[in-house]
Amino acid sequence: MNKNEHLISKITLSNGLDCILNEDNTKGYVALNIWYHVGSKNEKPGMTGFAHLFEHLMFEGSKNCNTNWFSIVEPISTGINGSTNPDRTNYWENISPEYLERVIFMEADRMGFLTEVLTDAKLEKEKKIVIQERKQNYENSPYGDSEELIQEIIFPKPHPYNWQTIGYESDIQKAKEKAERRIARQKKEEEKQKSQT
């Protein structure tokens, strides 16, 4: 294979999960990127910012890996993070190849069993972090609110892009463990429906 060529293939697993493989042997690591087709567009007015908050909660452990995700993956990676936009939420890791199986297991575990270890303490911790992120990037930044104001003009209510992905502080404050469990069920249901089409 030429250095500039990359073999790309797509596999759909029996559970409906699409896997896109891009083989590039010029790198000394494996890049893993998981995308959920759920973002802030799936929220409702009065419950904004929940997709982004859920992104944060996904790093707080799951049934078989009930510890902070960064504490396990950072030592074996060259990068790890996640992001949310109106249309999707994604998580990515660049890891040494010998850890791929472990990290795929961890991704599967949080995909299926996050809510089994979700606690009020974890939720409150992440709510504070998200609210601080909102203040830092929008409220306490020069012209920080301009993007929010423009978005409200371009996408008037009831359009699902009417609000910023980070949501409103008053909505984030109202998030309860029960609501987050409902969002997790919604994500699972949407992935299930996608797999059946």
Tell me which residue of 126, 22, 33 sits closest to 79, measured CA to CA: 33
Cβ neighbourhood burial of 188 (10 Å; 0-12, 13-18, 19+): middle
- Say how far residue 149 (Cα) sits from the centre of its chain: 25
**148 Ramachandran zone, left/alpha/beta (phi>0; psi -120 to 50):** alpha
Check if 55 is active-site.
yes
Catalytic-role residue among 55, 60, 126, 180 = 55
How many secondary structure helices (H) and strands (E) does the chain include? 7, 5
**What is the Rg, in whole angstroms, of the alpha carbon atoms belonging to the chain?**
18
Measured distance CA(108)–CA(35) in Å, rounded: 12
- Looking at the chain, list the stretches that DSSP marks H as alpha helix, in order from N- to C-terminal side: 50-57, 69-73, 100-113, 120-134, 146-154, 169-174, 177-196
Beta strand 77-84 with 89-95: parallel, antiparallel or unpaired? antiparallel
Q: Which residues are tagged catalytic? A: 55
